[in-house]
């Protein structure tokens, strides 16, 4: 199945495994929350138990080898007016949403330390923003 839009996550490769998983899950939730059209239907098994739905399309996860690579991808996504979610390094030390908002508000686009981003939009634009990125292993 071909999708008109694409969801891609870029995560810095030098993070600890738990950090990568944490960043990926928070970023994926941002698209699910903001764009209801990405939601699937709840799952129902043969016992008639209902379970939470998934996002309807794949989420591709790419690695950034260094800060310059993730910053470049972020900049290219902004230039293409794609929807972007961010996860910055200070968020690893926060305990709740209010603290997250405070930390994010301290920095501009040019001086934030990105460790992960999610990009959502037209497939062609997302592909151009991610040009040269490789999948996470």
Tokens of 89: 């390094």
Q: Which residue segments constitute the domains of the chain, with CATH numbers given?
A: 5-135 (3.40.1490.10)
pLDDT digits (tens, 9 = 90+) for 35-80: 999 999 999 999 999 999 999 999 999 999 999 999 999 999 999 9
pLDDT digits (tens, 9 = 90+) for 70-100: 999 999 999 999 999 999 999 999 999 999 9
Q: How far is CA 132 from the centre of its chain?
A: 17
3-state DSSP of the chain: CCCCEEEEEEEECCCCHHHHHHHHHHHHHHHHHHCHHHECCCEECCCCCEECCCECCCEEEEEECCHHHHHHHHHHHHHCCCEEEEEEHHHHHCCCHHHHHHHHHCCCCCCCCEEEEEEEEEHHHHHHHCCCCEECC
């Amino acid at each position: 199945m071909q999708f008109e839009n694409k969801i891609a996550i870029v995560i810095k490769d030098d993070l600890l495994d738990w950090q990568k998983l944490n960043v990926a899950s928070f970023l994926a939730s941002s698209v699910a929350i903001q764009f209801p059209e990405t939601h699937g239907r709840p799952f129902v098994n043969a016992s008639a138990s209902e379970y939470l739905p998934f996002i309807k399309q794949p989420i591709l996860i790419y690695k950034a080898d260094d800060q310059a690579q993730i910053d470049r991808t972020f900049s290219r996504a902004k230039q293409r007016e794609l929807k972007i979610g961010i996860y910055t390094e200070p968020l690893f030390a926060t305990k709740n949403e209010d603290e997250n908002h405070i930390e994010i508000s301290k920095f501009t686009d040019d001086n934030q330390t990105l460790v992960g981003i999610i990009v959502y939009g037209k497939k062609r634009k997302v592909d151009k923003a991610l040009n040269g990125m490789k999948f996470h292993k």
